[in-house]
Every structure is written in C-alpha cells, then in structure tokens.
Amino acid sequence: MNVTCKDRERIFEDGTAAEWMALEAHAAGCVKCAEELRAWKSLSVAAKELQDYSARPELWTRIERALIEEDARKAERKSWLSFLPSLAAGWQTALAGAFVLILTVSVTWIIRESKGHSSKQDNSLLKSAALKEVESPETAYEKAIDKLAAEAKPQLDNPATPLLANYHEKLLVLDSAIADLRAQAGLNPSNAQLRYQLLAMYQEKQRTLEEILEARK
C-alpha cells in the first residue's frame, strides 16, 4: 500500500491497521510525517499518565451500604402499595390518575365550601359584634340619663316656673320619640341611621336635664 503526506490526517482519524503500517513506512523517509507521527503517538503515551486504578476497599463497602439502604426504602414503598399487586401497570397508572383527580376535586370543593361558610359566619359575626359595641354604651348612656331624670323628677313633677313646665313638655316629647326609635331599632337593629337618631335624642334629653338641674341652682 502506498501512502503520501496527504493521507496522514485521514489515517490519523480513521486509518486501518494496514494504512498505519504504510504510514510508518512512509515516515521512515519523510521527516515531516515522522515528526507528526511521533507527536500523535505521544498523546496516547501521555494519556497513560491519567490512569490510576488504585482502588480503596472502603468504596465498595460504602456503595454496598447505600444500595442496601436504597433497597430497604424501595421495599417500604412497595409494601405501602401492596394492595395493587395484581393490577397491570396501565391500570395502576389509570387508578392513580383517578385517585389524584378525585382528591383534587374533593380538596377544591372542601376549600371552596369552607371559604363560603367562613365568610358567611364572618359577616354575621362582624354584624353582631358591631351591634354589641353600639348597644352596650347605649345602655350605659341610657342609665346615666335615667339617673339625671331621677334627680330632676321632683322639679318636673311640680314645675315652679313656666320654663320648667316647658322643659317637662319637651322631655315628654323626647321620651316619646326615643320610645319610637327604640321600637324601630328593635325591628332593624343593624340600621345605623336609626342608631344615630336615637343617639341625637339621648343627647338632647341629656342637655335638657342638665339645663333643668342648672336652673335649680
């Protein structure tokens, strides 16, 4: 077989044994090819420097332990799913898919339901709490005004002056309005407008009683 310098790289890449021998023969008389051939083969020699097959016996022990642990984990998972042994893989997948679907739908439904329920509960809770907050000072306020009324009662029962008689009239009107408003508020406890009107009436009654007690002095 006759090879030339032009064939060198092709032989380096994919030469047959016969072509390599022919290249060797050619290199004996060609300085350039001899140099290239030496450099090329040197890389293979150099590659041997990267061979280090000293084995540590501990490595297999470590791997063996890891394999056993993994096996145990696998067995644990298998036993957990042991109720599915007789089913084919396709059926198992379909069953698993159906289970996941049912679980997703159920969880979504439960979450939505509980959200709706809790929001309903929250609304009513908020309303009743707010109502309590309004009603308790209202009652306290009413009691305080009743105390004032009790103090002013002797003057009002026997008004000594026309002014006191007018005050008495005014208080009777105010009490009547308060009674009306309280009746309406009882029917519609969360009506804020009624509550404001009731408050205004109480404030007016308080002012009137204070004026009566002031006039006594």
Partner 1 sequence: MGTMGLALPWKARITSALREPAAVGRWGTRVKPSEERTGGPAGASVEAASEDAALAAACQSGDLRAYERLYAMHGPRMKNLARNVLGSAADAEDAVQETFLKVQRSVASFRGQASFVTWTYRILINTCYDARRSRLRKKEVTTDDDTEEMPRMEPRAPGAHPSLRMALERALEKLTRHQRDVFLLYEVEGFRHAEIAGMLEITQAASKNTLFQAKKNLREMLEPPRSSSAELH
**Subset of 36-95 contacting partner 1 (CB under 8 A):** 38-56, 59-60, 62-64, 66-68, 70-71
- The size of the interface with partner 1 (CB under 8 A), counted in residues, is 39
Please give the Cα distance from 37 to 40 (Å, whole number).
5
Does the footprint of partner 1 cover residue 20 (CB under 8 A)? yes
CB of 46 to partner 1, least distance (A): 5
Q: Which residue has the tokens 């044994």?
A: 17
How many CB atoms are located within 10 Å of the residue 211 CB?
Answer: 15
Q: Which is nearer to partner 1, 12 or 141 (CB)?
A: 12
Q: Which is nearer to partner 1, 24 or 135 (CB)?
A: 24
Can you tell me whether residue 30 is helix, strand or coil? coil
CB of 28 to partner 1, least distance (A): 12
CB of 134 to partner 1, least distance (A): 58
28 Cβ partners below 8 Å, 6+ apart?
34
Q: Pick from 16, 158, 188, 190 the residue near partner 1 by CB under 8 A.
A: 16
Alpha helices in the chain (DSSP H): 8-14, 17-27, 31-47, 57-80, 89-157, 162-187, 192-216
CA 119 to chain centre: 17
Q: Pick from 2, 6, 17, 154 the residue near partner 1 by CB under 8 A.
A: 17
Q: Which residues bind partner 1 (CB under 8 A)?
A: 9, 12-17, 20-21, 24, 38-56, 59-60, 62-64, 66-68, 70-71
